[in-house]
Every structure is written in C-alpha cells, then in structure tokens.
C-alpha cells in the first residue's frame, strides 16, 4: 500500500522543493494505479488547508483511479489516531510505503504510529517535504532510527514492477523518465 500524507493546496507553496516532491508523489500514485497497488491519501483539516493539490493525480487518465484509491480527512498529526485511517489499512504483513508532507510532523508521526502497530514501513525520502530542509533531514534520520527503511521513488516503483517483463513496465518507466 502507498500512503501519501497531506499534499494539500495551502501547504505545498511553503514546502522546500515542492515541485519535485509533487512530481515524485504523482509518479508514485500513477505507478500504483497502473500496478493495482492500493493508495491511501490523507488530508489534514481540509477545511483549513484545502484538498489535495490538483497535480497529485495529474498523470492519471480521467476516471482511472480505481476503488482502492481512498482519501481520508484527519485532524490528528499521527494518522493512526484516526479511526477511518486505521480501518483502511491492510493486514499487517503488508509493507506500507509512505510519502508526503510535512516530513517532520504528519509523515514522521504517522510512520511512528504505523511502526507501533507492527507494520513494516518504507519511507520514500525523495517524495517527502518540509518547509525547512533541516526539519526534513532530522525527521528522515529519526524515522530510520525508529525502524522505517529509507527508499526512493525509483526504488519503490521498480520494486513494485519487479521485472522488465512486466506487462506494465514501459508505462511505469515513462512515469519516471
């Protein structure tokens, strides 16, 4: 499962390298969609911070997002404190890939909650962002120390596709080129 945390309209203009983070999250969502990997998107206090940015699903053909793409509004910084989020999680033998903003607040606290629940978590470091680069760096180190495995967008996507013989390989490759 791919979890994309709080990529919201009023937050993104303040994120360091926001365009890069958005591009990577959009590629992850598109690849997950092509490969049938469930996607869970959170929105922190959507009335105040807005919905997810439009570009998040930019690469998807209109109407292609299947029923396994779900958006959950939350008001807690740790999404695992939200009952709707918990209800949407897969069995604990599933690796959870996490991306989004802000790395040092909602992303980190959600990862720590997922680890406490017994999930294996991979933090897609180049698809996360914070307003201040130092906050992101410290959060990445802390998440790794707490048990999350660091990874990148390309590593995650190639891991999902597994082989150049995958019927979707060329479509997925186009997302990251």
User: pLDDT tier at 60 (50, 70, 90 boundaries)?
Assistant: low
Q: What is the mean pLDDT of the chain?
A: 92
Separation in Å, CA 84 to CA 72, 87, 157, 175: 7, 5, 27, 30
Helices (H), the chain: 18-35, 46-49, 83-88, 108-116, 133-146, 153-161, 169-176
Order of all β-strands in the sheet with 69-74: 69-74, 39-44, 2-5, 95-101, 120-129, 149-151
Which residue from 38, 43, 42, 31 is spatially nearest to 1, judged by alpha carbons?
38
Residue of 31 and 57 predicted with greater confidence = 31
pLDDT in tens, 87-131: 999 999 999 999 999 999 999 999 999 999 999 999 999 999 999
The domain tally of the chain equals: 1
CATH code for position 83: 3.40.50.850
pLDDT of residue 124: 99
User: Of how many residues is the chain composed?
Assistant: 177
Which residue from 72, 75, 77 is spatially nearest to 41, judged by alpha carbons?
72
| C-alpha span between 130 and 134 (Å, rounded) | 9
In b/e form, how buried is each residue of 42-71, taking b as 16+ CB within 10 angstroms?
A: bbbebeeeebbbeebbebeeeeebeeebee
Domain of 67, in residue numbers: 2-176
pLDDT of residue 65: 58
* Torsion angle in degrees (nearest 10) through CA of 44, 104, 107, 49: 20
Residue of 55 and 162 predicted with greater confidence = 162
pLDDT of residue 165: 95
Instruction: Average the pLDDT over 127-142 and give the result.
Output: 98
pLDDT of residue 98: 99
User: pLDDT tier at 138 (50, 70, 90 boundaries)?
Assistant: very high
Question: Please, what is the angle between helix 169-176 and helix 153-161, to 10°?
Answer: 180
Residue 73's CB is within 10 A of a number of other CB atoms, namely: 14
Q: Could you give the percent of the chain with pLDDT greater than 90? A: 81
* Torsion angle in degrees (nearest 10) through CA of 66, 71, 72, 78: 110
pLDDT in tens, 63-87: 555 667 889 999 999 999 999 999 9
């Amino acid at each position: 499962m791919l979890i994309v945390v709080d990529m919201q309209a009023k937050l993104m203009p303040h994120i360091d390298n926001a365009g890069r983070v958005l591009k990577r999250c959009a590629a992850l969502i598109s690849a997950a969609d092509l490969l049938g990997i469930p996607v869970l998107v959170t929105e922190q206090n959507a009335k105040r911070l807005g919905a997810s940015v439009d570009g998040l699903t930019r690469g998807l053909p209109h109407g292609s997002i299947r029923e396994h793409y779900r958006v959950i509004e939350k008001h807690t910084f740790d999404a695992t404190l939200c009952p709707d989020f918990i209800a949407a999680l897969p069995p604990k033998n599933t690796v959870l890939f996490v991306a989004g903003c802000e790395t040092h607040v909602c992303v980190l606290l959600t990862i720590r909650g997922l680890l406490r629940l017994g999930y294996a978590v991979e933090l897609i470091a180049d698809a996360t962002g914070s307003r201040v680069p130092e906050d992101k760096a410290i959060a990445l180190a802390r998440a790794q120390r707490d048990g999350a495995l660091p990874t990148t967008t390309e590593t995650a996507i190639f891991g999902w596709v597994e082989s150049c013989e995958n019927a979707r390989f060329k479509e997925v490759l186009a997302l990251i080129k």
